[in-house]
Amino acid sequence: LVVNSPFKGDWPSNERVPGKGPTGQKKDLDSDSESDERSAPRGGLDSEAADVLEKFDDFLHEQSSGGSIGRDEWAATDQGVIDRLKEKYKSEKRTKRSSGSTDEADEKRHSLNDTIISAGGGMGNNPMAGVRGKRGEFMDINDALGLPPDENIDIKDDFIIEDDEESLRTAKWNVKMTLRSHLDSIRAMQFHPVEPVLITAGEDGTAKLWNLDGGKEKSGTSEIEPVYTFRGHLGPVLCMDLSPTGDHLFTGGRDGVICCWNVPSTTGDPYEAYDPKVLSERLRGHKDAIWSIAYHSSDNRLVSASSDGTIKLWEPGNFGEPLLRTLEPPASGLIPTSVDFVSTEPSQLLAAYTASTANIIDIETGATILTFDFGDDVAPGCRITRILSHPTMPLTITAGDDRKIRYFDNHTGKLTHSAVAHVEGISSLAIDPNGLYLLSGSHDGSLRMWNMEKRVCLQEISAHRKKYDASVTCVAFHPSRPLIGSAGADSLAKVYCPASS
């Protein structure tokens, strides 16, 4: 007789068929033994199975007490069928217990993947498709996952240091302080030659003097106020340069005016009355915005590059006729974007233009001495954003919108090295006074430290957030202290020091 039970359950060893023992022998059944069997533990079964077994025991008890089915009929039940039912139930329970957590985890993983895919906006097989700002993509995913914004999102670095030399593994740079006072994008910055002093200039029409030793420590960072604010332009300040002694400051603006300043004391009261003597003179002559200026102290010469297409040579302090010479572009339609003096030849000037043109110019005659050969390494129309002279070698370094840093020989004009250095266009360059390290800033939000000899990236720092299409706008080395700086379109200036200091 096969029992058509209303459930699929296990009969533990202490729940045998009434009237049969474990080996099939009949047992004496009385009320005490049946009561003991019903109250015995259920072998670790769950409450539902135990409840069903209790109901079935009651049913058997009722049948044995006067029902239509007798003990002998139950005793004649095929024990093999019962054992197979028990083994099947045990197997099903083990499978459910072992797979329950896995199924739940899989369901969570699928839900998480669906969330990420929906946050990515249907990126398809290419996760970087349609990315305009690198940070925006990451922030969308963080929001979808309920995570807080990440202030230090790292951009993937394809440059790997494979050399074990200790010189390539210098101390890492960490943020020492963040300067918050400008009301708009910061376009230029420079450290004092000796003191822990920084000057920044921005699109809010001001330049600010910061004493970096005057900060109060708050949770590992310093919050300080500017010691002095320079006000003299009628629009955004776009560029600046500081004399080697740190006594004179020169700023150029969108108003086409160059302001010459006497740098005030760095220990003064930031709320003292405005001193008109700080602004010594204004140089007027350009008809459009001034993008770059450079000062050479040996001959007291100042050079400026403007959107009006000209480069002008000035003598600050000559109140009779400060403008000495106007240099026209080498070809029609070219606009100068960056200028610098050749460190090894003070009478020569480096000038970079739009359309990937860069020259060495004789300051006294205005003649072009050398034109750098970009060859086929540059796309037509690429704009050079920064040109620098190496402090100790006849070497010129340029950066541009095409994300590349290039090195040129000043004697031959030939391109000696070129490499893609950032994910987006490069906005600024700075080189340390010894010429060993190069610092680059990009609109991808990062600045990178480079070893000049090995031409490898030593460190990448995610520094500034993007505003419209701009991010890092300027970088700087301190001439005599272990400090570097960066400023950006987010109106913040940051100062970094080695991790060990």
> Would you say the pTM of this structure is higher than 0.85?
no
State the maximum Cα–Cα separation within the chain, in Å, rounded to a whole number. 132
Which residues are bridge partners to 211 per DSSP? 197
Degrees to nearest 5, angle at CA 128 with 111 and 494: 105
Alpha carbons 202 and 225: distance in angstroms, whole number:
16
Alpha carbons 18 and 16: distance in angstroms, whole number:
6
Alpha carbons 480 and 73: distance in angstroms, whole number:
105
Q: Read off the tokens for 119.
A: 């946050």
Mapped onto helix, strand or coil, the DSSP state of residue 161 is coil
Do the beta carbons of residue 443 and residue 429 sit within 8 Å?
Answer: no
Alpha carbons 69 and 82: distance in angstroms, whole number:
18
Q: Which of 466, 481, 498, 443 is nearest to 193 (CA)?
A: 481
> Quick one: DSSP state of residue 498?
E
Q: Residue 39: its pLDDT value, please?
A: 47
Q: Which of 185, 149, 134 is nearest to 425 (CA)?
A: 134
Tell me the H-state helices in 67-197: 71-75, 79-119, 134-145
> Quick one: DSSP state of residue 130?
T
Sheet holding 290-296, edge to edge: 290-296, 301-306, 311-314, 323-327
Q: Which of 419, 413, 317 is nearest to 370 (CA)?
A: 413
Transcribe 193-231 into DSSP letters.
SSSSEEEEEETTSEEEEEETTSPEEETTEEE---SEEEE
Strands 395-400, 384-389: pairing kind: antiparallel
Q: Read off the tokens for 225.
A: 């106020």
Per-residue tens of pLDDT for the chain, all 501 residues: 344 444 444 444 444 444 444 444 444 444 444 444 444 455 556 777 778 788 777 777 766 655 444 455 555 556 777 787 878 877 776 665 555 544 554 554 444 444 434 444 443 344 333 334 333 444 444 454 344 444 443 434 444 444 444 444 556 899 999 999 999 999 999 999 999 999 999 999 999 999 998 755 444 455 788 999 999 999 999 999 999 999 999 999 999 999 999 999 887 776 777 777 899 999 999 999 999 999 998 889 999 999 999 999 999 988 888 999 999 998 888 999 999 999 988 899 999 999 889 999 999 888 999 999 988 877 777 889 999 999 999 999 999 999 999 999 999 999 999 999 999 999 999 999 999 999 999 999 899 999 998 999 999 998 898 888 889 999 999 999 999 999 999 999 999 998 875
Alpha carbons 490 and 465: distance in angstroms, whole number:
6
- CA-to-CA dists, residue 304 to 49, 79, 283, 330, 336, angstroms: 90, 105, 10, 16, 9
Which residues are bridge partners to 282 per DSSP? 259
Q: Residue 87: its pLDDT value, please?
A: 81
Degrees to nearest 5, angle at CA 458 with 455 and 464: 115
Cα 454 off chain centre by? 24
Q: Residue 43: its pLDDT value, please?
A: 54
Radius of gyration of the chain (CA): 40
Residue 144 has phi, psi (to 5 degrees) of: -65, -35
Question: Which residues neighbour 169 within 8 Å (Cβ) at sequence distance 6 or greater?
Answer: 161, 458
Q: Residue 449: its pLDDT value, please?
A: 94
